[in-house]
Amino acid sequence: MRYWQRIIAVGFGGFFGGALREAIELWLAGPFPWGTIVINLLGTFISAFLVVLFARKLNLKQTTADFIMVGILGAFTTFSTAVLDMVKLGQIWPALLYFSITLIGGVMVVFLARWLAKRTVA
């Protein structure tokens, strides 16, 4: 496979993931960064779910997998935005709440997604 095909696939996926991210951020805009939390937890869930599906059921071309996982989901979720949102909160307790929701929620959605994906392909 040619590298440029994978790069183009990631670029197109990144466009869609970034646009979807911005739409959700605008929709959930407010004083607390719920948009980033929802985006990162949803993206984590989808990633974990798809990893199981790809491993057990779907046999995708590398460019298709790159389009989805690296392009769409890579642009959709981002750790740096989460950290920046924590700093912007400016107070320790809201920042710790945000961190806790993100970290604990992330682990929980991975377990949930894997469980659901395994049931789906069983």
pLDDT in tens, 53-101: 888 888 888 888 899 999 999 999 988 788 888 888 889 999 999 999 9
Q: Average pLDDT over the chain, rounded to whole? A: 91
Question: Annotation-wise, does 81 bind a ligand?
Answer: no
Domain extent for 112: 3-121
Distance CA 50, CA 65 (A): 10
Q: How confident is the model at residue 1 (pLDDT cuts 50, 70, 90)?
A: low
Question: From CA 47, how far away is CA 68, in angstroms rounded?
Answer: 9
| Residue 120, marked binder | no
Measured distance CA(76)–CA(46) in Å, rounded: 11
* pLDDT above 80: residue 12: yes
CB 82 within 8 A of CB 55: no
- For residue 65, the Cα-to-chain-centroid distance in whole angstroms is 14
Query: What pTM, to 2 d.p., does this model score?
Result: 0.83
Confidence tier at 122 by pLDDT (50, 70, 90): confident
Helix residue ranges per DSSP H, 1-122: 3-27, 34-56, 62-65, 73-76, 79-89, 92-121
Q: How many domains does the chain have?
A: 1
